[in-house]
Amino acid sequence: MKVTFVWGLGGVGKSHISLREAIKSASGERVLMMTLDPSDRLFHLAGVEPTAGVTRVTVHQHHFDMKKLNPSKLLEALDGSKSASPTLKAFYEKMASGLQESYRDWE
């Protein structure tokens, strides 16, 4: 199993790089691309609408799966049975809002 993280500032090409890597990897192995991005940009670049659960994607005869994760739920799952703290949830909401504003300004 190979795990790759793509992280960086807004507008630097993370979505394009992630999609390219998924397509390259899909030619030889099963691929599940997961995103924490509050926007659906990655899905739209792949030409699909996000669904609840896993979305099957085909690009140039390469098949892979995509899944949008809920960051608050992910944090709770990583921390066992504890709920994410209100402070952490507020921080994420503020960060996500800022990312969306930055993206809108960039478009």
The C-alpha atoms of residue 13 and residue 7 are separated, in whole angstroms, by 10
Do residues 27 and 62 touch, judged by C-beta distance below 8 A? yes
The C-alpha atoms of residue 72 and residue 90 are separated, in whole angstroms, by 10
Tally of residues, the chain: 107
pLDDT at 58: 93
First-to-final CA distance of the chain: 36
Structure confidence at residue 101 as a pLDDT band (50, 70, 90)? low
The model's pTM is 0.65
Q: What is the pLDDT of residues 12-49, one digit of tens each?
A: 898 999 999 999 999 888 898 988 888 888 999 999 99
pLDDT at 79: 67
